A and B are shown apart, each in its own frame.
Chain A
Amino acid sequence: MTLAQRINRAQRVLPAWPIYLIGFGWMGWLFWLGLNGDLGPEPINALERRYGLLALQLLVATLVVTPLRTWTNISLLKYRRALGLMAFGFLMAHFLVWALLDLQSLSRISVEIVRRPYITIGFAAFVLLIPLAVTSNNASIRRLGALGWRKLHKLTYPAILLGAVHFVWLVKGYPLEPFLYLGAVIALLAIRLVPKRRPAARAPAGAVTR
């Protein structure tokens, strides 16, 4: 049995729900640490960064699923919804910490969103992901139809790209980390443009081969 087969067999028995449990548990734990002064002397900024980074990491993970299946036949599709929804959860937490704990006023929030381009694009990414989070359920797939749903969910691509640029844009100087994320996102988007490798045996009879 190949590694891919072994992984695909394991994912049949491993459910996706623990992702929510671990995700929300981790989110709450970080907040608890901040509350108790265990995130350093400036917990608001620490929490903002931790939540934002986790959101970006989970979004990158959702981007890995499709190329992984295309190029290695490993299918983790079953977990993608949980990863995506958890990413949105952390993004929401990131936004709320920024709005409620950091800026603390509606006027400051609106001024910052309008006047600071890196915040504008971060906020845009958040807004783009709202309809996707709302439609990440089977009922919505049925209502929208598989094709319509997939079309809508292509919004993840610009959203994740905006998120990675937001990270690069907000740091001072040229630290490596945000550029690595941006590079990973660009690579994961670019790999989707590479023509898919289809084993000849599985090509439908009569298909035109290019």
Chain B
Amino acid sequence: MARRWTNDLTHDDVTPRPLWLNRRQIMAGMGGAAALAATGAPAMAQGLEPNTLEQISTYNNYYEFGVGKEDPAAYASALDIDPWTIRVDGMVDRPGEYALADLLSGLQSEERIYRFRCVEAWSMVVPWNGVELADVLDKIGVQSGARYVAFETVVQPENMPGVRSRVIPFPYVEGLRLDEARHPLTLLATGIYGQPMPKQNGAPIRLVVPWKYGFKSIKSIVRITLTDQQPPTTWNRLNSREYGFYSNVNPEVDHPRWSQASERRIGGGLFSRRQDTLMFNGYGDEVASLYAGMDLRENY
């Protein structure tokens, strides 16, 4: 498993705030080249440039607010996130109803720039802020028999038009194997670009598992359950042929209705080129060992 690694630079250190707020505005201007030169060197070495906050927060899948990509940005302002309590139960030493601040207090805050790959074959690069899920698990005390972590999204029918139209079953549920959950890449994110998490992106706290398709990264979490059984997951329950429990990004295993071999990075405009999708979304060095000996075609 990868060693613990922490950042001391934030996005404000490498890119002035007006630039990441809406890069489209400055790309046209003289400042474009200088701004690009100033973004983080490791990211640039991979040809990566984080998407702007505007892009990240206006193109979302959050079916509780509707099926359109623009629906979450249009309706999520109604989401009530204060106060926020997370119910921790199952095979844990310290179960209970945790206030969000209590659950996170004392934990090392992280800034992680991750590729984000949706099962619909589009992708972004997102600078998340949050804590490692492993730290939260240590805090609540995982009992020895536990093998999986299950998560549940909030349901506020009066604030969520998509819940009222029941386009998929709610509450949305997701889950990880315990070793996936404990992996240092796995985050519980509370912000983007150093700002509080936009509601349409899953405020106030959401999962981020960068080597899996985006729907695994469940939003607006209100419940964390440790269990010894593989927990049900929403899309798998709805259509198990199309969505497996693992749902690792894998260019060689197509979704029955579309190819996963390539993807389009959001933000390239009308003539944006497709690019090849990377195995485990480019995190193979870090996570491939979790699946050693497993047939990934079988366990999609």
Using A174-B168, A176-B165 as known contacts, say yes or no to A37 and B269 having CB atoms under 8 A apart: yes
19 A-B contacts (beta carbon < 8 Å): A34-B270, A37-B24, A40-B69, A40-B70, A41-B51, A41-B59, A42-B264, A43-B270, A44-B264, A45-B122, A101-B270, A101-B271, A108-B262, A169-B257, A171-B67, A173-B63, A173-B167, A173-B238, A174-B167
Report the nearest B residue to A111, measured CB to CB: B259
Cross-chain contact B70 with A43 (CB below 8 angstroms): no
Q: Does B40 contact A (CB under 8 A)?
A: no
Closest chain B residue to A177, Cβ basis: B67
Q: Is the beta-carbon distance between A42 and B59 smaller than 8 angstroms?
A: yes
In the complex, A172 Cα to B70 Cα: how many Å?
16
Say yes or no: B272 contacts A112, CB within 8 Å: no
| Chain B interfacial positions (CB closer than 8 Å to A) | 24, 51, 54-55, 58-59, 63, 67, 69-70, 120, 122, 165, 167-168, 235, 238, 254, 256-259, 262, 264, 266-267, 269-274
Note all chain A residues with C-beta closer than 8 A to B54.
41
Contact digits for A149-173, partner B, Cβ 8 Å, 1 yes 0 no: 0000000000000000000011111
Interface class of chain A by DSSP: helix
Give chain B residues whose Cβ lies under 8 Å from the Cβ of A44: 264, 270, 272
Interface string of A32-52 (1 = CB under 8 A from B): 001101001111110100000
Interface size on A, residues (CB 8 A): 29
Given contacts A35-B270, A104-B273, 16 further A-B contacts (CB under 8 A): A35-B269, A40-B59, A41-B58, A41-B59, A41-B266, A42-B122, A43-B270, A101-B270, A101-B271, A102-B264, A108-B259, A116-B256, A170-B257, A172-B235, A173-B63, A175-B167
Q: How far is the CA of A42 from the CA of B269 in the complex (A)?
A: 7
Q: Is the CB of A40 within 8 A of B271?
A: no
Taken together as a complex, chains A and B put the C-alpha atoms of A77 and B156 apart, in Å, by 49
**Residue on A with the closest CB to B255?**
A116
Contact mask for chain A residues 90-111; partner B; CB cutoff 8 A; 1 contact, 0 none: 0000000000011110001001
B257–A116 CB distance below 8 A: yes
A181 within 8 A of B: no
Q: Return the CB mask of A113-128 against B: 1 if under 8 Å, else 0.
A: 0011010000000000
The 7 A-B residue pairs with the shortest CB-CB distance, nearest first, are A41-B55, A173-B168, A41-B59, A175-B67, A173-B167, A43-B270, A175-B167
B238 touches A43 (CB 8 A): no
A209 to chain B, nearest CB (A): 48
Note all chain B residues with C-beta closer than 8 A to A37: 24, 269
Q: Which A residues are CB-close (under 8 A) to B262?
A: 108
CB-nearest residue of chain B to A37: B24
Q: Which residue of B lies closest to A105 (CB)?
A: B274
Shortest beta-carbon distance from B70 to chain A in Å:
6
Q: In the assembly, what is the distance between CA of A116 and CA of B271, in Å?
A: 24
Distance A111 CA – B266 CA, assembled complex (angstroms): 24
